[in-house]
Amino acid sequence: MNNPLVFSSWLFVLPPILLENIQPYLITLLLVLNTLFSCLFWYDSVPNTVYHIIDGVLGKLSMTVTVMYMLCFKSNCTKIEKCMFLLCFFNSLVLFYFSDYYSSMAWLSNYHIMYHLLFHISICMGICVVYV
């Protein structure tokens, strides 16, 4: 239970809670489910388990829906907000790539955990832009 990724998974729901805003509802629901399955997976982080698969599917679905929402549907979004969101999104992709790279070399290595932790933080920053 010393895995910091269990705790950093809670960052996903922090923006809607702190900003007291649960709209858009679909994204909030996905974030709650993502948090739940991410915590369940990282608590006993065995790769390719049911929790790992569900966590991965929900993560990809959440990112896809959130990007589509920010780029196509959020009407009160400034260009600066969109740029900040896209910066966080692309940063997240790079961090996830390195997390995946190091996890394939050694599961739960320091680099794997560090890059995945930074990935969670970058996702949280992007989520903050969605909820402002």
* pLDDT tens, residue by residue, 107-130: 999 999 999 999 999 999 999 999
Mean pLDDT for all residues in the chain? 95
> Quick check: 30 and 61 in contact, CB under 8 A?
yes
Please tell me the distance from the alpha carbon of residue 34 to that of residue 62, in angstroms, as a whole number. Answer: 8
- Look up residue 106 and give its DSSP letter: S
Q: Is the pTM of this model over 0.85?
A: yes
- Count of domains for the chain: 1
Phi-psi region of 3 (alpha: psi -120 to 50; beta: other; left: phi over 0): beta
Convert the pLDDT of each residue in 65-112 to its tens digit. 999 999 999 989 999 999 999 999 999 999 999 999 999 999 999 999
Q: What phi and psi values does residue 42 have, to the nearest 5 degrees?
A: -70, -20
pLDDT of residue 2: 78
How much helix, strand and coil, in percent to the nearest 5, is found in the chain? Answer: 80, 0, 20
Q: What is the number of other CB atoms lying within 10 angstroms of the CB of residue 34?
A: 23
* Domain assignment of residue 98, given as a range: 4-131
